[in-house]
């Protein structure tokens, strides 16, 4: 009696693509004419594929995060005779991340203002998209602004001082600073500039690039929310001010604290004028404009620090949501303020207690 004989060569059976239908017929013959049946003996097929008793491997390989190797042993059985053979299937599956943030201009901002923009991309190869990393591969951000590895663009846009233009640059008589009638020098506050840059998002294996821009507008000595100035304007409306607004960097749940302890939470507020050395003698004060702090906690009006002893609680956790107002005042300019809603979460004893889900039996020796 002869044992079955494999016709399909051992080793690498195929290299296939994830989510693409695959079919492969394994072949072993038996000289005695017995029907050959096939079974998986050791190892595993790629997820999504199945082996029939007739030797047909078929299915749709499931998503994989990277090139995956599956080695397995198939047994061919004819009557009481068996013969085994080892095979390998590779599944290709490194998909490039997919951008969610639309390409093009992300925002139009004045220089000296705080920028906070989160770039977003999705990736089917990872459990969640927080594993993605971002970097600029071409172009640049405005000075003072940076891109984190998590895709967050933050910082205060540094102004670009207006250059001094003489008649050579202006193309008048072509001779700089001579006695010609057309010689002049023009200087003004800061200039406009469009910053274009290409960001690469990667899951560590594959990547996707997208080009964005920040349109920065030069802010001179004056700006106004309601007045458009042209070259013949001689009047400035009463609401004009070169004071820049404040920006909170925190939102949502800003801290998770334990009840019964003394806790301190420092609010972070950015003043672009301070970063530019133009804050002068301005003062920033803090107050709660709505909502409730956790019991026992209050805000320091001068420092923006929320602190205090929170009474011990028994519940798992309680969220306290409130709105803080940061007010910027100056003896020269009018008052300016910013508000931000945020939450502090207080955990109680129930959150810290370990609960057994099963009865424990004491082992006595």
Question: Where is 301: in which H helix or E strand?
Answer: none
Identify whether 75 is part of a domain: yes
Are 121 and 173 members of one domain? yes
- pLDDT attached to residue 363: 52
Beta bridge partners of residue 258, listed in sequence order: 347
Return d(Cα 263, Cα 310) in angstroms, integer. 8
Are 309 and 285 members of one domain? yes
Q: What is the C-alpha R_g of the chain?
A: 34
Quickly list H helices, the chain: 167-170, 272-275, 349-352
- List the end-to-end C-alpha distance of the chain, in Å, as a whole number: 59
Are 70 and 103 members of one domain? no
**C-alpha dist (Å) from residue 45 to 22, 58, 91, 313:** 12, 10, 10, 53
Question: Are 51 and 40 in contact, with CB atoms under 8 Å apart?
Answer: yes
The model carries a pTM of 0.56
Are 57 and 163 members of one domain? no
Look at residues 57, 72, 92 and tell me which one is the last residue of a structural domain. Answer: 92
Identify whether 223 is part of a domain: no
The DSSP letter of residue 92 is: E
Q: Count the domains in the chain.
A: 3
Look at residues 92, 126, 143 and tell me which one is the last residue of a structural domain. Answer: 92
Return d(Cα 141, Cα 76) in angstroms, integer. 63
Are 208 and 120 members of one domain? yes
Look at residues 45, 74, 92 and tell me which one is the last residue of a structural domain. Answer: 92
Identify whether 341 is part of a domain: yes
Return d(Cα 126, Cα 101) in angstroms, integer. 19
Identify whether 237 is part of a domain: no
The CATH number covering residue 179 comes to 2.60.40.10
**C-alpha dist (Å) from residue 237 to 165, 177, 242:** 29, 36, 13
- pLDDT attached to residue 45: 97
Identify whether 238 is part of a domain: no
Are 9 and 88 members of one domain? yes
Identify whether 268 is part of a domain: yes
Are 103 and 208 members of one domain? yes
Q: pLDDT below 70 — which residues of the chain? A: 1, 125-130, 162-189, 219-243, 275-276, 279, 351-365
**In terms of residue numbers, what domain contains 59?**
5-92
Identify whether 188 is part of a domain: yes
Are 150 and 253 members of one domain? no
- pLDDT attached to residue 285: 95
Are 137 and 74 members of one domain? no
Give the dihedral sign, CA 175/176/179/182.
positive
Question: Are 99 and 208 in contact, with CB atoms under 8 Å apart?
Answer: yes
Are 125 and 156 members of one domain? yes
Sheet holding 152-156, edge to edge: 114-118, 152-156, 145-147
Are 110 and 52 members of one domain? no
Reference 284, options 265, 264, 270; nearest CA is 270
Are 119 and 182 members of one domain? yes
Identify whether 230 is part of a domain: no
């Amino acid at each position: 009696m002869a044992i079955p004989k494999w016709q399909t060569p051992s080793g690498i059976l195929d290299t296939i693509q994830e989510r693409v239908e695959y079919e492969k017929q394994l072949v072993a013959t038996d000289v005695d004419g017995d029907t050959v049946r096939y079974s998986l003996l050791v190892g595993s097929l790629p997820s999504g594929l199945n082996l029939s008793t007739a030797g047909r491997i078929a299915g749709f390989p499931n998503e994989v995060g990277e090139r995956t190797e599956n080695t397995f042993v198939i047994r061919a059985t004819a009557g009481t005779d068996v013969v085994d053979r080892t095979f390998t299937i590779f599944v290709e599956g490194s998909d490039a991340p997919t951008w969610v943030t639309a390409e093009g201009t992300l925002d139009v901002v004045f220089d000296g203002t705080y920028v906070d923009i989160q770039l977003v991309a999705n990736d089917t190869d990872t459990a969640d998209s927080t594993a993605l990393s971002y970097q600029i591969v071409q172009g640049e951000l405005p000075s003072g602004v940076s891109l984190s590895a998590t895709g967050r663009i933050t910082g205060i846009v540094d102004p670009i001082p207006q250059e001094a233009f003489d008649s050579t640059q202006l193309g008048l008589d072509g001779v700089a600073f001579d006695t010609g009638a057309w010689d002049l020098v023009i200087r003004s506050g800061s200039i406009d500039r469009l910053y274009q840059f290409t960001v690469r998002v990667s899951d560590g294996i594959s990547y996707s690039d997208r080009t964005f821009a920040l349109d920065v507008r030069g802010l001179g000595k004056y700006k106004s929310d309601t007045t458009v100035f042209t070259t013949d304007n001689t009047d400035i409306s009463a609401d004009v001010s070169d004071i820049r607004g404040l920006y909170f960097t925190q939102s949502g749940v800003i801290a998770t604290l334990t009840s019964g302890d003394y806790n301190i939470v420092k609010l972070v507020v950015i003043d672009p004028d301070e970063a530019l050395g133009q804050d002068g003698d301005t003062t920033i004060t803090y107050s709660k404009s709505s909502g409730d702090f956790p019991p026992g906690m209050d805000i320091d009006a001068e420092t923006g620090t929320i602190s205090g002893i929170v009474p011990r609680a028994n519940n798992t956790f309680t969220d306290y949501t409130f709105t803080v107002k940061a007010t910027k005042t100056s003896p020269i300019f009018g008052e300016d303020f910013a508000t931000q809603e945020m939450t502090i979460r207080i955990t109680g004893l129930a959150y810290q207690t370990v609960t057994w889900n099963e009865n424990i039996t004491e082992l006595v020796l």
